[in-house]
Amino acid sequence: MTSRPVNLGVLLFVVVSTAVAVVYSKHQARKLFVELQSLGNERDDMDIEWGQLQLEQSTLTTHGQVERAAREQLGMVSLSADNMVIVKP
């Protein structure tokens, strides 16, 4: 009959250990969920920034913008028929 209290003690230890493991795993799951939400928000912010950068790039690469930058920054001018030279191979 002495094995019954020992079995009861082991069973109690196993039950308490399992309960602690369940609480710990639930805590970890909640922590990971919060991190997932944070990363999702960060992804959304980056998507918005990416869209804004694409819009800015398309604005800066229009023909008029390129031509104005070539004139102002590089001092380029449009060629007239008098200034054009055609080189044949």
47 belongs to a structural domain: yes
76 belongs to a structural domain: no
Q: How far apart are CA 32 and CA 35, in angstroms?
A: 5
**What's the pTM value of the predicted model, to 2 decimals?**
0.57
79 belongs to a structural domain: no
| Number of structural domains found in the chain | 1
**CA atoms 61, 64, 67, 70: torsion sign:** negative
14 belongs to a structural domain: yes
Q: What is the domain range of residue 42?
A: 3-71
pLDDT tens-place values along the chain, 89 residues long? 567 888 999 999 999 999 999 999 999 999 999 999 999 999 999 999 999 999 998 888 888 888 888 889 988 888 888 888 888 88
89 belongs to a structural domain: no
- DSSP for 31-43 reads HHHHHHHHHHHHH
80 belongs to a structural domain: no
